[in-house]
């Protein structure tokens, strides 16, 4: 039995240099960039070409729905990955999990680019596509949660929002890289070239990014918060029965610290985090996935316009994300959540009116505005706030589950629902209504949430 040396006061603070923080920051940014590049490559391909390559024997509308459905199945696998790798990350540390997740994501994405098409092997082609999508999702299910936890636990208290926003910049970088690649392909290739071989290039090129990310994470040090946890001995978290024994043997102060983490009733922080996630995830699925295909197929706009808009929006996001992170450090998380979610509600119908006009400048303005306010701004806050809500003993698991359940309920189902509703109504208003509903859920959750800025992340219990 491991003894009561797990007591909080007997733990020495883990020391990390500026170089360690820099490596952790780059690692978190790069891994998240890779995750979102992989998923954005897939989502754009699903919206632009996969309905023709893997589902050619159905109508364009049904093909788009089927392609979006294959996009959605990855989120089911993400949930399984969140459970499996999240528990592993809380048990044996953050860095080992992050090494595995980036390897799984990169390998599956590269193999998608080597798949035969429907015309070559028939129904086996979409089956293999779904299988690789499941592997990709299983690894990605813990990647962004792990990167978020790692950066938040590395960051200085007064700069957590800014440092954690690098995760959001990673998503922005990945989105930009994927959208930029597709914008180039759409600009320089003919339809025939794109469908025959051009669509493979972005997936195959992702191998280089995977190789660099794996190399970088080999030398990454463990999170200092994980090492300082009072329930961690020799790099492994004690099981519940071991903690109970340690509580019985420890003095009152140490016993109270340990008991707070394992005897608190869980649930409140998780559901608040889930609501905070809902707005960003749902808005992202609509703006960054569904609208790409909708604009290209339904509005008679040039096929490169929506991808160009995502590129411009992502570029602006390099200012939006750190500014929101800094404001969160200055004024707190809660007030900014309330402001951004309410602003998204206000602009939802005007944004969709601009996009539905079919005018290229209006489409650009609407997409850029919606992306930065309703997706990237909220994501910058989400990176730090959700991590601060949870105690260190279950932070990785709860954060991963909140992100992935929110993804399944909003991001994965949203594009399919939007495709169905717009097909039934022949109008854009259901998309705007969905943006409003998603953002109101986040607004209510932020209203119910405590302010988490400056919280001690070594504490084992949740914030509420």
Separation CA 200–CA 406 (nearest Å): 30
Task: Please say whether the beta carbons of 405 and 145 come within 8 A.
Answer: no
Of 254, 340, 314, 290, nearest to 64 by C-alpha is 290
Separation CA 426–CA 407 (nearest Å): 26
3-class DSSP state for residue 97? helix
pLDDT of residue 323: 96
CA dihedral angle for residue 193, residue 195, residue 200, residue 202, rounded to 10 degrees = 80
DSSP tag of 236: E
Q: For tokens 């794996």, name the residue.
A: 214
Task: Please say whether the beta carbons of 140 and 78 come within 8 A.
Answer: yes
pLDDT of residue 439: 96
Separation CA 239–CA 321 (nearest Å): 38
Structure tokens at 227: 């090492």
Largest separation between any pair of C-alpha atoms in the chain: 73
Q: Which residues pair with 233 in a beta bridge?
A: 236
Q: Dihedral sign for Cα 365, 371, 374, 377, please.
A: negative
CA distances from 422 to 61, 65, 172, 294 (A): 10, 11, 28, 9
Indicate the helix (H) or strand (E) that contains 356: helix 333-356
Separation CA 231–CA 246 (nearest Å): 9
Task: Please say whether the beta carbons of 255 and 10 come within 8 A.
Answer: no
DSSP 201-225: HHHHHHHHHHHHHHHHHHTPPPPHH
The pTM of the full predicted model, rounded to 2 decimals, is 0.84
Q: Backbone dihedral region of 300: left (phi > 0), alpha (psi from -120 to 50 degrees) or beta? A: left
pLDDT of residue 9: 44
Separation CA 463–CA 460 (nearest Å): 10
Task: Please say whether the beta carbons of 175 and 37 come within 8 A.
Answer: yes
CA angle centred on 288, ends 363 and 36, rounded to 5°? 145
CA distances from 87 to 82, 102, 239, 382, 394 (A): 8, 17, 12, 21, 8
Structure tokens at 206: 């992702």
Separation CA 358–CA 87 (nearest Å): 47
Task: Please say whether the beta carbons of 28 and 169 come within 8 A.
Answer: no
Q: Which residues pair with 288 in a beta bridge?
A: none
Q: How many CB atoms lie within 10 A of CB 12?
A: 7
Structure tokens at 430: 């259901």
pLDDT tens for the chain, residues 1 to 464: 444 444 444 555 666 777 888 888 888 888 888 887 877 787 777 767 777 787 666 556 655 565 656 666 777 788 899 999 999 999 999 988 998 898 888 888 889 888 888 778 877 887 888 888 888 888 888 888 999 999 999 999 999 999 999 888 887 788 778 878 888 888 888 888 888 888 888 888 888 888 888 888 888 889 999 999 999 888 899 888 888 888 888 878 888 888 888 888 889 999 999 999 999 999 998 998 788 878 877 777 777 788 788 889 989 999 999 999 999 999 999 999 999 999 999 999 999 999 998 889 999 999 999 999 999 999 999 989 999 999 999 999 999 999 988 888 887 788 888 988 988 888 999 999 999 999 999 999 999 999 999 999 999 999 99
Of 173, 152, 171, nearest to 333 by C-alpha is 152
């Amino acid at each position: 039995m491991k003894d009561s040396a797990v007591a909080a006061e007997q733990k020495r603070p883990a020391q990390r240099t500026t170089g360690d923080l820099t490596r952790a920051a780059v690692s978190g940014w790069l891994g998240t960039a890779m995750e979102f590049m992989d998923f954005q490559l897939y989502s754009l391909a699903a919206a632009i070409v996969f309905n023709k390559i893997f589902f050619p024997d159905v109508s364009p509308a049904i093909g788009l729905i089927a392609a979006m459905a294959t996009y959605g199945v990855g989120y089911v696998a993400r949930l399984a990955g969140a459970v499996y790798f999240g528990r592993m990350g809380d048990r044996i540390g953050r860095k080992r999990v992050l090494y595995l997740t980036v390897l799984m994501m990169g390998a599956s994405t590269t193999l998608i680019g080597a798949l035969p098409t429907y015309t070559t092997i028939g129904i086996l082609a979409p089956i293999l596509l779904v299988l690789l999508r499941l592997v990709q999702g299983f690894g990605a299910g813990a990647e962004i949660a792990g990167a978020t936890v790692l950066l938040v636990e590395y960051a200085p208290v007064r700069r957590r929002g800014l440092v954690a926003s690098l995760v959001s910049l990673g998503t922005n970088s990945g989105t930009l890289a994927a959208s930029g690649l597709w914008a180039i392909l759409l600009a320089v290739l003919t339809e025939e070239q794109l469908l025959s071989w051009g669509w493979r290039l972005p997936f195959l090129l992702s191998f280089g990014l995977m190789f660099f990310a794996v190399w970088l994470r080999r030398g990454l040090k463990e999170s200092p918060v994980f090492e300082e946890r009072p329930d961690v001995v020799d790099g492994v978290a004690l099981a519940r029965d071991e903690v109970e024994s340690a509580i019985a043997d420890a003095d009152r102060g140490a016993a109270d610290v340990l008991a707070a983490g394992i005897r608190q009733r869980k649930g409140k922080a998780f559901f608040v985090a889930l609501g905070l996630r809902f707005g960003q995830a749902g808005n992202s699925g609509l703006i960054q996935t569904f609208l790409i295909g909708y604009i290209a197929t339904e509005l008679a706009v040039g096929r490169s316009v929506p991808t160009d808009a995502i590129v411009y929006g992502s570029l602006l996001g390099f200012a939006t994300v750190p500014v929101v992170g800094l404001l969160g450090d200055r004024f707190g998380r809660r007030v900014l959540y309330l402001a951004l979610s309410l602003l998204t509600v206000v602009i939802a119908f005007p944004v969709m009116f601009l996009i539905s006009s079919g005018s290229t400048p209006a489409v650009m303005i609407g997409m850029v505005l919606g992306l930065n306010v309703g997706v990237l701004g909220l994501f910058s806050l989400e990176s730090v706030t959700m991590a601060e809500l949870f105690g260190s003993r279950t932070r990785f698991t709860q954060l991963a589950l909140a992100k992935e359940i929110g993804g399944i309920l909003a991001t994965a189902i949203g594009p399919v629902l939007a495709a169905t509703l717009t097909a039934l109504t022949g109008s854009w208003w259901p998309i705007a209504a969905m943006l409003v509903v998603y953002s109101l859920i986040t607004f209510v959750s932020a209203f119910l949430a405590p302010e988490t800025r400056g919280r001690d992340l070594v504490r084992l219990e949740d914030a509420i």
